[in-house]
């Protein structure tokens, strides 16, 4: 397993734990260590009971960012529409930022107007949401199959097919062993651009390489929907180095370019994103065979890995192309300073030399430095954090008012954040959506039907939700 390519990096358990807390994760006291063991290929599970017909519940506009109607199954608890909105404590006043808390980094200042705390503007779009299922277990990635079904990864190691009626398949067989702990496990999934012909998928996961070391890997396989199985499974890329620990800041998101090459996020795993001869804290660019993509900026550069596209990243959770074919990502900052970045070839995004946040302990990082020549600024940042996750650009027809809007899932923020970009890529307004759900939004995708689909982040009871305009 490429033994010469492995390395050993010691990371602080306290730092990992703090990173998980910053994302709003809850932990039982004295959690059993078995949760950190490699998960075997998932065993078949009994099929769930049929899904009952949905009903419609109206939620007051005083709670929802816009007038929303929510569709839920009978006997599903609706819950109170009032209550604790202390995180996020949002101010929905037109022209004012939604964030009213003080920045985590007291000395922080934006590098340009509109870089943070954009004004709130309601689009006036009434929403209806339909819960397709609420029986997923820590889902992480979502894709649309041509027959109207959904392909969903669960962080615990299962790949599932979800029907439009909410029926969930048993775990797809053939998934390789996955190391599941904290923020890592089975991560993103993507369809080959020629999926209708070749049925090929790509997926990212934390791979156990021996009894103690693990690292981000990318595999490809052929999906047999009828047989609920994978075949021809091949790991095409392994991030360097693999090591023990590091169950936070791992990346694992995939975006496929029009030419069929893959961009993949690899988090820094507590090591910083500036070390040139590792994949940690980088966005990598590879072919469908896992080789460095032609035209990569560091091919032939001494001390640099040829697959690297950009450096200086921390924990990249979202990755998507806009309508112009440009690559963007969302990234977790430390305590403050979550980022939206326009990712460009060979650029350095600064971590941990510059950041708009501070350490979880409260200490300054690099003296509180937020800018440095030769390092890129985020196009937008959130301070305090929202723990951004999935990322999408709206290009459908159901919401014409939202054309080219940026959609960012918020886990700790418990919202779907809609941002409007100017022609020079500055955020001119912000609109939090789905805040009444009080759910961690793990991924967001725009479906082929123009609807918006999100998955939430809970164990055993996570939802796949369809968002459409209210009729």
pLDDT, tens digit (0-9, with 9 covering 90-100), for 222-277: 999 999 999 999 999 999 999 998 788 899 999 999 999 999 999 999 998 999 99
Among the listed residues 239, 250, 421, 406, the one whose alpha carbon sits nearest the alpha carbon of residue 329:
406
Structural domain harbouring 439: 40-79+91-469
In a domain, 325, yes or no: yes
What pLDDT is stored for residue 75 in this prediction?
A: 34
Model pTM above 0.75: yes
* Range 384-397 average pLDDT: 96
In a domain, 27, yes or no: no
What pLDDT is stored for residue 71 in this prediction?
A: 34
Sign of the Cα pseudo-torsion (463, 214, 308, 310, in order): positive
Among the listed residues 407, 449, 412, the one whose alpha carbon sits nearest the alpha carbon of residue 86:
412
Give every CB contact of residue 197 below 8 A, 6+ residues apart in sequence: none
What pLDDT is stored for residue 99 in this prediction?
A: 93
The residue among 25 and 64 whose pLDDT is bigger is 25
pLDDT, tens digit (0-9, with 9 covering 90-100), for 318-357: 999 999 999 999 999 999 999 999 999 999 999 999 999 9
In a domain, 34, yes or no: no
pLDDT, tens digit (0-9, with 9 covering 90-100), for 31-76: 223 333 444 444 444 444 443 333 333 333 222 333 333 333 333 3
Among the listed residues 274, 286, 344, 273, the one whose alpha carbon sits nearest the alpha carbon of residue 315:
273
CA 234 to the chain's CA centroid:
24
What pLDDT is stored for residue 302 in this prediction?
A: 95
Q: Are 358 and 345 in contact (CB under 8 A)?
A: no
CA 101 to the chain's CA centroid:
24
* Range 448-465 average pLDDT: 98
Q: Are 155 and 138 in contact (CB under 8 A)?
A: yes
What pLDDT is stored for residue 247 in this prediction?
A: 82
In a domain, 32, yes or no: no
Domain of residue 52, CATH code: 2.120.10.30
Q: Are 188 and 253 in contact (CB under 8 A)?
A: yes
Q: Are 319 and 253 in contact (CB under 8 A)?
A: yes
In a domain, 399, yes or no: yes
pLDDT, tens digit (0-9, with 9 covering 90-100), for 176-191: 999 999 899 999 999 9
In a domain, 365, yes or no: yes
pLDDT, tens digit (0-9, with 9 covering 90-100), for 95-147: 999 999 999 999 999 999 999 999 999 999 999 999 999 999 999 999 999 99
In a domain, 336, yes or no: yes
Q: What is the mean pLDDT of the chain?
A: 85
Please say if the pLDDT value at position 17 is more than 60: no
pLDDT above 90 covers a percentage of the chain that reads: 78
Among the listed residues 239, 261, 245, 263, the one whose alpha carbon sits nearest the alpha carbon of residue 253:
263
Among the listed residues 173, 297, 167, 187, the one whose alpha carbon sits nearest the alpha carbon of residue 253:
187
In a domain, 179, yes or no: yes
**Number of domains the chain contains:** 1
Give every CB contact of residue 376 below 8 A, 6+ residues apart in sequence: 312, 341, 344, 347, 348, 349, 350
What pLDDT is stored for residue 129 in this prediction?
A: 96
């Amino acid at each position: 397993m490429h033994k010469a390519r492995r390395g050993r990096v010691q990371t602080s358990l306290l730092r990992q734990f703090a990173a998980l807390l910053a994302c709003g994760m809850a932990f039982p006291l004295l959690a059993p260590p078995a949760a950190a063991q490699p998960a075997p290929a998932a065993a078949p599970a009994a099929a769930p009971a049929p899904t009952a017909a949905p009903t419609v519940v109206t939620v007051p506009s005083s709670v929802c960012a816009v007038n929303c109607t929510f569709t839920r199954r009978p006997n599903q608890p609706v819950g109170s529409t009032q209550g604790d909105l202390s995180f996020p404590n949002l101010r929905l006043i037109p022209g004012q930022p939604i964030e009213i808390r003080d920045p985590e980094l007291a000395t922080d200042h934006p590098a340009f107007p509109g870089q943070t705390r954009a004004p709130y503007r309601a689009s006036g779009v009434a929403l209806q949401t339909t819960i397709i299922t609420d029986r997923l277990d820590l889902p992480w990635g979502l894709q649309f199959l041509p027959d109207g079904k959904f392909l969903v990864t669960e962080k615990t190691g299962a790949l599932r097919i979800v029907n439009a009626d909410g029926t969930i398949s048993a775990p797809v067989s053939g998934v390789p062993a996955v190391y599941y702990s904290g923020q890592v496990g089975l991560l993103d999934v993507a369809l080959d651009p020629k999926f209708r012909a070749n049925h090929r998928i790509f997926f990212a996961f934390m791979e156990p390489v021996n009894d103690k070391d693990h690292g981000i890997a990318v595999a490809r396989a052929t999906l047999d929907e009828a047989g609920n199985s994978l075949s021809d499974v091949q790991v095409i890329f392994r991030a360097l180095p693999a090591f023990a620990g590091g169950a936070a800041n791992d990346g694992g998101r995939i975006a496929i370019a029009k030419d069929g090459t893959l961009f993949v996020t690899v988090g820094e795993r507590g090591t910083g994103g500036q070390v040139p001869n590792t994949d940690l804290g980088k966005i990598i660019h590879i072919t469908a065979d896992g080789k460095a993509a032609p035209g990569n900026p560091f091919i032939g550069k001494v001390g640099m890995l040829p697959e690297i596209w950009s450096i200086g990243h921390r924990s990249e959770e979202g990755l998507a192309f806009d309508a112009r074919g440009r690559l963007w990502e969302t990234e977790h900052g430390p305590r403050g300073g979550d980022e939206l970045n326009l990712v460009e070839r060979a650029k350095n995004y600064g971590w941990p030399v510059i950041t708009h946040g501070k350490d979880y302990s409260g200490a300054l990082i690099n003296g509180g430095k937020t800018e440095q020549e030769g390092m890129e600024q985020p196009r937008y940042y959130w301070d305090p954090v929202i723990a951004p996750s999935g990322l999408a650009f709206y290009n459908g027809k159901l919401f014409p008012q939202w054309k080219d809007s940026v959609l960012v899932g918020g886990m700790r923020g418990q919202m779907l954040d809609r941002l409007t970009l100017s022609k020079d890529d500055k955020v001119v307004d912000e609109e939090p959506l789905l805040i009444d759900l009080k759910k961690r939004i793990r991924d967001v995708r725009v479906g082929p039907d123009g609807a918006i689909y999100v998955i939430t982040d809970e164990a055993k009871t996570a939802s796949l939700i369809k968002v459409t305009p209210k009729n």
